[in-house]
Structures are given as C-alpha cells and as structure tokens.
Amino acid sequence: MLYWLYEILNINILGYITIRAGISFFLALFFTLMFMPVFIRWATRTSSVQPINTWAPDRHKDKASTPTMGGIVFIGATVLASLLTVKLTNVYAIGALLTLFLFSIIGFQDDFAKIKKNENLAGFKARTKLMLQIFSAFIITCFLCFFADFNTDLYVPFLKNPVTDMGLFSIIFWSLVIISTSNAVNLTDGLDGLATVPSIAALASFSIIIYITGNATISSYLLMPNFQVGEVAIVASALMGALTGFLWYNCHPAEVFMGDSGSLSIGAFLGYLAIISKNEILLLLIGSVFVIETISVILQVGSYKLRKKRVFLMAPIHHHFEMKNWTENKIIVRFWIIAILSNLVALISLKIR
C-alpha cells in the first residue's frame, strides 16, 4: 500500500526501502503487542498450553500451563505489516511471504496435534514432518529457479567471484539450506527467549546484507553480487519488529511460547534470506547458536548409537547446561551474547574479499 502511495501520489519518501523497512518494523511490533495479549487470554481459556516433554529437566514442569503457538501471532503480524509496505510485484518478496506461510502451516498443524493430545511427542511423526518440510522447500526453490529465474551460482565468503554454477543441483542445495535452518531454530527454541534474540540478530544481519545486495552502488563497492532483492529487507524488518514484540511476552518467565508455528517459519525464512543474498555458507556464522545446538544433537545421537555413550548430559546443549545447574537466565543471556558477537563478525567479514 505504501509503495502504491509512492507510485500514484508521488510521495517520494515512501519509495525508499529503508523508510518502508522502518515502518514495517514498527507496524509489526504494534500488531504483535496489540494481539498477543488477546491470544494469550484465548489460549489460556481454551487450554492451548505447551505439553512438556517427559525427558525435559524437572524445572520445565512449571511451564506446563504456558500458552503456545504464539508464532501464529507474530508471523501473522509480519505478513500483515509486509503487505502494507512492500512492493508486491517484487518476485523475491512474494517468495519470502510464501516461505513464512508454508512453514507456519506445518508448524501450526504440529502444535495443534500436540495440544489436542496433550503430549509433546504427539505431533507429526518425524518422517511426516520432514516430508512436509521437503515438499514446502521444494516449492520455494522451484519458485526461485523457474519463476524468479534466480542466479544459481554458488558464492563463498571472502571470494568476490562465484566458485561454480550449481544449475539444477541448486534446488537440492537450497532445499537442504531451508530445511536444515528450519529444524535448527526449532531445536534451539527450548528456553524462554533463547531462540528469539539470535533470530533477531540474524535477521538484522541479513537485512543489511540483502539491502546491500539489492543496491547496485554499494554492492559494487563491496564486490558483492547484485540482484533485485532489496524489497525482502522490508519483510525481514517486519519479522524483527514482530519478534521484538513477541520477546516482551516471551522473556523469562515466558507468558507464551512461539511453538513450531513460529520456530519452523523463522528458520525457513533465514534459510531463504541466505539463499537470495548468496550467503548460504555465511549462514553458519550468522546462525552460530542454531548451528551449535544442532551439532550438539548430532554428536549426542551419533555417539550414543556408535558407542552407547553420551557426549552431553542432555541435548540440545542448552539442556546440558541446565543439568549442570546453570540458571535459565544465565544460559539464555550467554547464548544471546554469542549470537550477537558472531553476527558482528559476519558483518565485518563482508569487506574482506
């Protein structure tokens, strides 16, 4: 709508991506702060609360009455704010909204099944959930390849030229990026606000990178690829605003959890941002906390299957520190610090090419 005002009424200030990104941030923040209390009251009244995994540390038993599925509120706020601010003819912005929609549907169905059966493990079977993620990621990557005709070159940090053209293999590679990041954020979402701030930090980094990628002058100066993806920074900014509003209610002690409807969507969206900015490899640094959490699970499962021994007291690794009697706030804040520092390093590295 705002871009329409720019084109029809010639309000020049609304033509700038930075201005509309700022507006989208505050619109999504406002929508989340306005609707989240309503959702919390509804979820409490209808017993739409978080079923606690029987394997979780004992201190988590106190969270059994906390409403979940808060993701549908901040994802809804993100989409609404984006529709009001982005140029809807931009194919990459459409792809961004498609990513949020598809993965929020998967997460919502999984959350709803858990709530209905009042059992943390009663959602989708792992195989069913993975197949739905693969199907959704395939739709998104095919959209990029065939509808958006997106460049299939693979870029590596610190090199100014692509290392290879992936061709149709890009569909498999990009799908893997989206699915892996989606599940990584989902694994991290185990403590109050633990996944929220690292997600905001990653979104901030990608917003900057995508704005640069979409700007011919700045991208040329930094020897970065240039594509017309700048509008997606507005969607990323909206999600940052929505998550900031969500954090108001999600900080310890949490009044609401995001659930899979939020975590799966955030992760998939971060994967999408990495793809369109040609920073699939740098995603490992930008999402360092998510990578650490995922590796801890892989090591734990692999070690137990091969050696019948555990590497950690419990996985993901945030539970390991809980078992070592670290307070929840200490774990959360230290992971936040790691996330912020790694994102600063990632942004600094952009000039090294």
Distances (CA, A) of 218 to 31, 227, 231, 343: 33, 12, 16, 20
pLDDT in the model for residue 297: 93
Whole-angstrom distance, CA of residue 96 vs CA of residue 107 = 17
Specify the pLDDT at position 65.
76
Mean pLDDT to the nearest integer, 291-316 = 90
pLDDT at position 54 = 56
What's the average model confidence in pLDDT over 163-178?
A: 94
Give yes or no for a contact between 232 and 269, defined as CB atoms under 8 angstroms apart.
Answer: no
Complete DSSP assignment for 84-109: HHS-TT-HHHHHHHHHHHHHHHHHHH
| DSSP structure string for 143-184 | IIIIIS----EE--TT-SS-SEE-TTHHHHHHHHHHHHHHHH
Q: What is the per-residue pLDDT across 266-299, written as a single tens digit (0 to 9) for each? A: 999 999 999 999 999 999 999 999 999 999 999 9
Which positions ≥6 away from 179 have C-beta within 8 Å? Answer: 130, 133, 134, 137, 268, 271
Q: Does the pLDDT at position 21 exceed 80?
A: yes
User: End-to-end distance of the chain based on CA atoms, in angstroms?
Assistant: 38
Instruction: Find the range with the poorest average confidence among 117-126, 252-261, 309-318, 329-338.
Output: 117-126
What pLDDT, on a 0 to 100 scale, did the predictor assign at position 115?
76
Q: What is the pLDDT of residues 249-270, one digit of tens each?
A: 998 888 999 989 999 999 999 9
What whole-number distance in Å separates Cα of residue 295 and Cα of residue 299?
Answer: 6
**pLDDT of 317 over the 60 cut:** yes
Residue 35 has pLDDT above 70, yes or no: yes
Could you tell me the two tokens for 88? 């809807």
Query: What is the band of 57 on the pLDDT scale with cuts at 50, 70, 90?
Result: low
pLDDT (tens digit per residue) in 188-228 = 998 888 999 999 999 999 999 999 999 999 999 988 999 99
328: tokens are: 């929840």
What percentage of the chain reaches a pLDDT higher than 90? Answer: 65
Counting residues of the chain whose pLDDT is more than 70, the rounded percentage is: 90
Q: What contacts 136, CB < 8 A, 6 or more positions away? A: 102, 103, 106, 178, 268
DSSP state of 67: B
More confident residue, 55 or 95: 95
* pLDDT score recorded for residue 112: 83
CA distance 146 to 137: 14
CA atoms within 13 A on the CB side of 200: 19
Average pLDDT over residues 95-99: 97
Under the banding of pLDDT at 50, 70 and 90, the label for residue 307 is confident
The answer to whether 120 touches 54, Cβ cutoff 8 Å, is yes
Lowest-confidence segment of 59-73, 87-101, 242-256 by average pLDDT = 59-73
Reading the block at residue 166, the tokens are 């992936």
Least confident of 8-22, 62-76, 171-185: 8-22
Residue 49: strand, helix, or coil: strand
> For residues 93 and 87, is the Cβ–Cβ distance under 8 A?
yes
Residue 138, pLDDT > 90, answer: yes
Least confident of 47-61, 64-78, 333-347: 47-61
Is pLDDT of 345 > 70? yes
pLDDT at 71: 93
Nearest by Cα to 194 from 319, 76, 311, 90: 319
